[in-house]
Structure 1
Amino acid sequence: MSAAKPELNTIVHLFSGFLGTGKTTAIKSLLAQKPEHEKWVIIVNEFGEIGIDGAVLSGDEVPVAEISGGCLCCVAGPQMTVTVTKMLRENRPDRLIIEASGLAHAASVIDELNTPPLANSLTVGAVFTVVDPSQFIDSDFNLQALYQDQIGVCDVLVASKVDLCSDDVMNRFRERAAKLFPPKAFVAEVDNAQMKLAWLDTEVIQKPRYRITSLPDNTMGYQTQGFTFPHTSDFDGERLTQFFDALPSMTEGLVRAKGVFRVLGTHVWLNWVDGHWGANQVSWRRDSRFELIAKSFDADKIEKALQDALEHR
């Protein structure tokens, strides 16, 4: 009797971004650098019925499958599971690259990839979103939920078409990108979406505690601290509410507190500023994390309070 094949653990990378930002070009540039010993497969999601991007990517000796007629997370959702399963079974690849439609809600795609049966064979690696810097700094674009979703979910933010942007646009892009929360693991600036192969291995694991950079050199005398929790940890919504209500009494001179937390299988953004806090759903799908700025506080006490707010099974 032959030995059973080891369980497949393919690394999957999602590429999202609005129409025309250069996702296909970015993937083609990576294909040109693919190590000979690695086996890759690609799945392209087209909004229309005719797959153009799939045709562009074919011919590189890398299997390409297309899902057309809808975005991955809605109309084509069940088809994605079937297509991914088929590609994994037939090719047993080291990496799977998924190019999402420009209209795809990237967070929903990540949720499906992290859910059995796909989660049994896949590890979600660095997630990329390709943006046009001139759109990124445009307030009209940033008001669109879909645009916020695509930017919020990624680990690596790729500014394409940099050669077509003015210095003013790029300076405004860098300023806005530096303020994103949670912060990106890496922000790349490229001409014509030309990627570097090493970016696929961008580190996405966070330390349990970290110093945040909101106040350079701590010149204002404030204390800052960040905390992270594994992406599998769920927080209890009621206990999380009690934690935020109690924050002013747990700190001296509270200035800012913000965090993203996994609650009931989704992620919410809680933001305390000017004496009030509010909550919104966000597309972030990595860890849960909390950042605090105040005149003084006991970091161990804050961490214990956060631990107490976790769901205990």
Structure 2
Amino acid sequence: MVKNVPTNVITGALGVGKTTLIQSLLSNKPDGERWAVLVNEFGEVGIDGSMLSGGTVDGKEKSIFIKEVPGGCMCCTSGLPMQIALNLLLAQAKPHRLLIEPTGLGHPKEVLETLSQSHYKDVLNVQATLTLIDVRKLDDQKWRNHETFQAQMQIADTVVVTKSDLYTHDCMPTLETYMHEIGVSSTPVVHANCGKVDNRLLANASNFTLHLSDSEQHHHTNKLNSANTLIAPKEGALRIANQGEGYFSRGWLCAATYAFSYKQCVMLFKTYTAERLKAVIITDSGIFAFNVADGAFEERRLDEAEDSRIELISSSEDFANTFAEAIDSLIDEYTK
């Protein structure tokens, strides 16, 4: 049994840099500590776990443990998918700290509500919630008025401004106005430097208090089953789709026996200015993690991957289908 595990929720909208920030936090964790990460993704395939894996080794024991809950909001169906995954992760890792990354389309208040339930009272020590924001998104009224994105800001103990090195003008007045509009103007704001923040922020206290009445609590059905994670086929590829909260996902899980063309992958991912695209792909030039957010393309070499995975999230069903046709053509070429 584990007791009083320091626990942090790292939340924020699609593409704000949650995975990048968590990678930084993991790289700066104290030597000798085991850290665990529970990752929730809107898409069915689950890619963040592959991007975050590859932690160092303390003696014979891994120091970083990752578990994924793909397929939608993990707090749904009374929090059951989340609780199953969380209990398994705690039993396996017995961590010194737990980080939880809900999907950018998840319901952060309900995630914190689940963590605050009585059966976790002596198990988890819920500390600061960090909410990441790319202030440029506030120019889009659809994003600005999205209830889920507003809720992410409202439960923040610290607001973390990301990607400010890409801003063409001072966006802070825009952020200050927005925070005043949604009633969180007193929440501390820090800037992430190249996706990095001081790990000491995690140890701050959580100001979250349960205030939802039973009639206001969020319950809806969710088809995910955290006990049955998708496994790549030995040959060919699985194609999976999901939709909700006004967004559409298309995912592919490909056999590890195929090495895709690195040049073709890069060309394809740069051609489509996707709102959100993640991929971990075994190529003829090595294993790469690809990341596209609001048209900005990034890549990073990885040491290992069990299979190839691609996941697109878009607010346009037509765009999602068009992109899917292009990916299917690429996959079919290499899986004949």
**TM-score normalised by length of structure 1:** 0.61
* Per-residue CA distance 1:267-305 (angstroms, 9 max, x = gap): 99xxxxxxxxxxxxxxxxxxxxxxxxxxxxxxxxxxxxx
* Displacement after TM superposition at 1:204 (Å): 4.2
Does structure 1 conserve the Cα–Cα contact (< 8 Å) formed by 2:10 and 2:99?
Answer: yes
1:8 to 3, 6, 17: 3
1:168 to 158, 167, 170: 170
What aligned pairs does 1:164-313 form with structure 2 within 5 A after superposition?
A: 164-177=166-179, 181-204=183-206, 231=209, 262=211, 264=213
- Give the aligned residue type for 1:48: G
Report the equivalent of 1:149: 151
- Give the aligned residue type for 1:28: Q
Does 2:32 match 1:30? Answer: no
Report the equivalent of 1:301: none
Report the equivalent of 1:105: 107
Please tell me whether Structure 1 or Structure 2 has the larger radius of gyration of its CA atoms.
1
Relative to structure 1, the CA distance from residue 104 to residue 231 in structure 2 (aligned partners, 3 Å threshold; closer, same or farther) is closer
* Per-residue CA distance 1:236-255 (angstroms, 9 max, x = gap): xxxxxxxxxxxxxxxxxxxx
Report the equivalent of 2:49: 54
Relative to structure 1, the CA distance from residue 76 to residue 101 in structure 2 (aligned partners, 3 Å threshold; closer, same or farther) is farther
Relative to structure 1, the CA distance from residue 96 to residue 46 in structure 2 (aligned partners, 3 Å threshold; closer, same or farther) is same
Structure 1, 188-197 or 110-119: larger mean CA deviation: 188-197
- Give the aligned residue type for 2:65: P
Report the equivalent of 1:20: 15
Report the equivalent of 1:298: none
Q: Percent identity?
A: 31
Distance in 2 separating the partners of 1:126 and 1:96: 12
* Displacement after TM superposition at 1:114 (Å): 0.4
Distance in 1 separating the partners of 2:215 and 2:162: 30
Distance in 1 separating the partners of 2:49 and 2:133: 20
2:88 to 86, 89, 108: 86
- Give the aligned residue type for 1:107: K
Question: Any idea what SS the aligned residue of 1:36 has?
Answer: coil
* Displacement after TM superposition at 1:123 (Å): 1.6
- Give the aligned residue type for 2:88: K
Report the equivalent of 1:128: 130
Relative to structure 1, the CA distance from residue 231 to residue 130 in structure 2 (aligned partners, 3 Å threshold; closer, same or farther) is closer
- Give the aligned residue type for 1:24: T
Distance in 2 separating the partners of 1:167 and 1:116: 46
* Displacement after TM superposition at 1:134 (Å): 0.9
| Unaligned residue ranges in structure 1 (runs of 5+) | 206-229, 233-261, 269-313
* Per-residue CA distance 1:42-66 (angstroms, 9 max, x = gap): 1111111211111000011401011
* Per-residue CA distance 1:130-169 (angstroms, 9 max, x = gap): 1111113544322111111111111111110101113332
* Per-residue CA distance 1:208-229 (angstroms, 9 max, x = gap): xxxxxxxxxxxxxxxxxxxxxx
Distance in 2 separating the partners of 1:107 and 1:86: 22
Relative to structure 1, the CA distance from residue 125 to residue 203 in structure 2 (aligned partners, 3 Å threshold; closer, same or farther) is closer
1:44 to 33, 39, 48: 39
Aligned-residue CA RMSD in angstroms? Answer: 2.6
Does structure 1 conserve the Cα–Cα contact (< 8 Å) formed by 2:7 and 2:99?
Answer: yes
Distance in 2 separating the partners of 1:185 and 1:22: 20
Relative to structure 1, the CA distance from residue 138 to residue 264 in structure 2 (aligned partners, 3 Å threshold; closer, same or farther) is same
* Displacement after TM superposition at 1:104 (Å): 0.4
Does structure 2 conserve the Cα–Cα contact (< 8 Å) formed by 1:185 and 1:203?
Answer: no
Report the equivalent of 1:119: 121
Question: Any idea what SS the aligned residue of 2:121 has?
Answer: helix
* Per-residue CA distance 1:64-106 (angstroms, 9 max, x = gap): 0111112112269312101111221222212100111111010
Question: Any idea what SS the aligned residue of 1:103 has?
Answer: coil
Distance in 1 separating the partners of 2:86 and 2:32: 21
Higher relative contact order (CA 8 A, sep 6+): 2
Structure 1, 126-135 or 74-83: larger mean CA deviation: 74-83
